[in-house]
Each structure stands twice: as C-alpha cells, then as structure tokens.
Amino acid sequence: MQYLPPPNTDKVLAVGFGTAGCRVLSHLEKTNISIDNYAYMSCEKQDLKCSSAGKSLFIDIGFRGKSTPSHIRGVAQKYMREIRRILSGSRLVFLVAGLGGSTGSGLIPLVAEVAKEEGVLTISIITMPFGFEKSKHFYAGVSLKNVRKNSDAVIIIDNDIISSDKEQMPISRFYSLVNERISFALSRIVESSGELSVGLNSMVDTITNNGYTILSIGTSSSINKAEEATVKAVESVYSIVEPEEASSAILYLVGDKSIAANELNTSTSRLNTMLGKGALEVHQGFSTSGGETMTAILLASGFKTTKFDDYDPLEKILHNRQIDSDMECGIDDALSNLVQIE
Ligand SMILES: Nc1nc2c(ncn2[C@@H]2O[C@H](COP(=O)(O)OP(=O)(O)O)[C@@H](O)[C@H]2O)c(=O)[nH]1
Ligand SMILES: [Mg+2]
C-alpha cells in the first residue's frame, strides 16, 4: 500500500483569539512574515473582521452581558470539530491572545491543549493587561498558568512596558501602535532577511526550554546607540522577572547603514553581564534597513516565574494543589472581585 503523508504537515499556522489576539494577529499578517495560514476565533463578530484571507470561527455565546473565561470554554466544546480541523496538518502553531478579558483568556489554554493532543508544536504569544486594569489581573494570571502548561513556549508581552513611552498618545491610536511594535519585533526575528538573520528555527530553539520568554524593545539615538538600546530593552525585563534565571536570548538590532561591527559586539557583551549567570546563550541578528534611531529587539528566555504569577491569588494559597482540573469554573466571578479588595 502506498504511504500518503497527511496534507500540509509542514505548514505554520497562527491563530488569534478575542479582541486583542485578533488585532495583533492582523498586524502580523500584514508584515508578510513566513506564516502559511491564519485563523481568527472570537465570540464577537467585530473581531473576526480583522481577518483578510484567514479562516474565522465565531463562537456563539448568545446575548449575555458579562461572560467568564470558563463559560466561554464550555461553549467552545461545541466547536471542537472545527477547532481540530483548523489545527490539523500544521507543524507549528502560534496562538495569540491578550489575557485579562474573557474570550482570549478562555480560549487560548483550551486550544493550546488541543494542539498538544494533535502533536503540533505550540508557541503562545500573549499580552498581559495594563497595571491599571486591576479587575483583569485574576483572569490573566489563571489563564497564563494554563497556557504555560499546554504550550511548548510562551512569549509574554507586557502592555505597560511595550507602550511606556507613549502614554500621552490618544487611546484610539494607542493599541494600534502597540500592535505595530509587537508585529514589527516578531516579524524581524522570524523573517530570514537582514544582514544577519535569526529565523524561525533558531527562534523556536531559543524559546522552547520550559521557561517563560519575555519580549521587549529599547531604542536610542545617542552616540552609543546600539548598547544603550540594548540596555533599555534589558532593563524593561527586570521589572517582570529575575534576570539571573535567563538561559538564552535573541538580540536583534535594527539601525541604519552606520552600524559598526564593534557595536554589535559591545551590545552582546553588555547583555551577557545583565542577564543569566554568565552562561547566557545569545543569538544575534541585525538589519541596516531601519532609520537613524537604533532599535534593540530582545527575546529573553528561561524564566521560571514572572510577576504575573502573583496575579492568581489561589496559586499562593494552594501551592500548586488544584481544586479541580478547571479551577476557574464556578468560582471565577467571586474571585475576580478579590483582586479589587486587595
Ligand atoms: N496589545 C493590545 N492589547 C489589547 C488590545 N485590545 C485590548 N487589549 C488588552 O487585552 C486585554 C484583554 O482585552 P480583550 O482582548 O478586549 O478581551 P477579550 O476580547 O475578551 O479576549 C486587556 O488588558 C486590554 O487592555 C490591542 O489591540 N492590543
Ligand atoms: Mg473582546
């Protein structure tokens, strides 16, 4: 009997969930990054308009005012066949969501679990809520833990950090700018272009290590701009994780044609003194297609915990002992109020 391989097993898929997930993914789609297929899933039809050529799956929760992540996960059980169909045949999937709301926080851990069952390498890319969005922290913390359990790698983007220099900007432009930055950073690392490229395979190698990965960006126009941009990117990470826990990193510099070899050298040496315990494995890339301002894109990886783990108060009380396998279920409304009386 002739052996026929399953169709499209070499494909790379990206799926966006909820409002933030769909918006970030649609920005990424516009960068022409080397992703073969796109899919969008949400309970709000508006989010699915982000999709141009991609597939979209509307999860119909009816007309409820406020929903919860576990309720949405429950409704999504009816769509399991469609979800498996979207995932099947992919070698690698990027799952993208903004945690803290109900849709993304509910769906991303569920789909990560299904992807694991289907044997698809799963990289979750998540944004964490702003510091002022206190009522969103609990759902985000619980979801983050479940995402990690079912993903081969988790890239965390802190909305506060990625936008820290743009707080004065009108809110209508704000999310769009944040999303542009995220997709710019990820596409530069994944795409195999520039004078020295990193590429998808090296990225996957660097971040699949059972720890969290943090994405940050630093910019500078000073004389030592490569080094200063690098230092800024690393310092952002300090507020989220324990820097010594880093085991690997990707540093990608984008500047103009005046980047000198020794600048790359100094930036990497500086990175080694600031992250890890002297044995940081650094992957470097650079491109001279940018402007006068130097941008350092950093993916730092291997962190066992982050400040966001404290967003789930149950974790501290129970120390990894679970009430049941779907912990939010039934108690999530009561517990989301806990955050507000801290
Ligand atoms: N980076 C980014 N974050 C967003 C965007 N839209 C919403 N968020 C944040 O994402 C979190 C979840 O919100 P949302 O995506 O609306 O929830 P969901 O639709 O229920 O999954 C909140 O902390 C928002 O501040 C966006 O376009 N970009
Ligand atoms: Mg929404």
Rounded to whole angstroms, the Cα distance separating 105 from 144 reads 8
Domain boundary among the residues 134, 151, 168 is at 151
Specify whether the CB–CB gap between 296 and 251 falls below 8 A.
Answer: yes
* C-alpha 238 – ligand 2 centre gap (Å): 30
- Residue 136 CA: which ligand 1 atom is closest? 23
CATH number, domain containing residue 293:
3.30.1330.20
- Are residues 220 and 137 located together in one domain of the fold? no
Which residue lies with its CA nearest to atom 16 of ligand 1? Answer: 19
In this structure, is residue 106 part of a structural domain? yes
pLDDT of residue 342: 34
Domain assignment present for 175: no
Which-ligand-closest: CA of 66? Answer: 1
Q: Is 203 contained in some domain?
A: no
90 C-alpha vs ligand 2 centroid, how far in Å? 27
Distance CA 116, CA 109 (A): 11
The reply to whether 109 and 219 lie within a common domain is: no
Residue 21 structure tokens:
């997930």
The residues facing 287 across adjacent strands are: 254
- Which residue's alpha carbon is nearest to atom 17 within ligand 1? 101
139 lies in the same domain as 266: no
Same domain, 36 and 145: yes
Assess contact for 12 and 191: CB atoms under 8 A: no
Residue with the smallest CA separation from ligand 1 atom 23 is 129
Residue 209 within a domain: no
Q: Which residues of the chain have pLDDT under 50?
A: 1, 324-325, 327-342
- Whose atoms come closest to the Cα of 67: which ligand? 1
102 Cα–ligand 2 center, Å: 7
Counting ligands in written order, which one lies closest to the CA of residue 183?
1
> Which positions ≥6 away from 246 have C-beta within 8 Å?
275, 276, 280, 300, 301, 302, 303
Residue 2 has what pLDDT? 52
**Which domain-ending residue is among 118, 151, 184?**
151
**Residues 29 and 132 grouped into a single domain:** yes
Nearest ligand to the CA of 127 is 1
* Rounded Cα–Cα distance for residues 5 and 248 (Å): 35
Distance 332 CA to ligand 2 centre (A): 18
Sequence-distant (6+) residues with CB within 8 A of 265 are: none
Q: Is 147 in the same domain as 228? A: no
Cβ atoms of 59 and 72 closer than 8 Å:
yes
Query: For position 327, what pLDDT does the model report?
Result: 45
Q: What is the domain-level CATH number for residue 110?
A: 3.40.50.1440
d(C-alpha 180, C-alpha 71), whole Å: 31
Nearest CA to ligand 1 atom 13: 101
147 C-alpha to ligand 2 centroid (Å) = 18
Task: Report if residue 316 sits inside a domain.
Answer: no
Q: What is the span of the domain harbouring residue 46?
A: 11-151
Residue 189 lies in a domain: no
What's the structural domain count of the chain? 2
Ligand 1: atom nearest CA of 133 is 23
Q: Which atom of ligand 1 is found nearest the CA of 106?
A: 21
pLDDT digits (tens, 9 = 90+) for 259-310: 888 888 999 999 999 999 888 999 999 999 889 999 999 999 999 999 999 8
Looking at the domain assignment, is residue 174 inside a domain? no
Give the Å distance between the CA of 327 and the centre of ligand 2.
22
pTM for the structure as a whole: 0.91
pLDDT of residue 128: 97
Q: Walk across the sheet containing 90-98 and list its strands.
A: 55-58, 37-42, 11-17, 90-98, 121-128, 153-158, 212-220, 294-303, 248-254, 281-287
Q: Is residue 199, in this structure, part of any structural domain at all?
A: no
Question: What is the C-alpha to C-alpha distance for residues 145 and 73, in angstroms, rounded to an integer?
Answer: 16
Q: Are strands 294-303 and 212-220 parallel, antiparallel or unpaired?
A: antiparallel
| Ligand 1 atom at minimum distance from 128 CA | 23
Please tell me the distance between residue 115's alpha carbon and the centre of ligand 2 in angstroms: 23
Residue 330, CA distances (Å) to 70, 97, 221, 327, 336 in order: 8, 23, 52, 8, 12
End-to-end CA distance of the chain: 65
Q: Are residues 15 and 147 in the same domain?
A: yes
Distance 75 CA to ligand 2 centre (A): 16
Ligand 1 environment, Cβ below 6 A: 18-20, 23-24, 98, 100-104, 127, 129-130, 133, 136, 159, 175, 178-179
Shared-domain flag, residues 129 and 224: no
The reported pLDDT for the residue numbered 45 is 93
Reported for 27-32, long-range contacts at CB under 8 A and 24+ positions apart, including other chains, are 27/176, 27/179, 27/180, 27/182, 27/183, 28/96, 28/182, 28/183, 28/186, 28/187, 29/53, 29/54, 30/183, 31/183, 31/184, 31/187, 31/191, 32/187, 32/191
Are 139 and 19 within one domain? yes
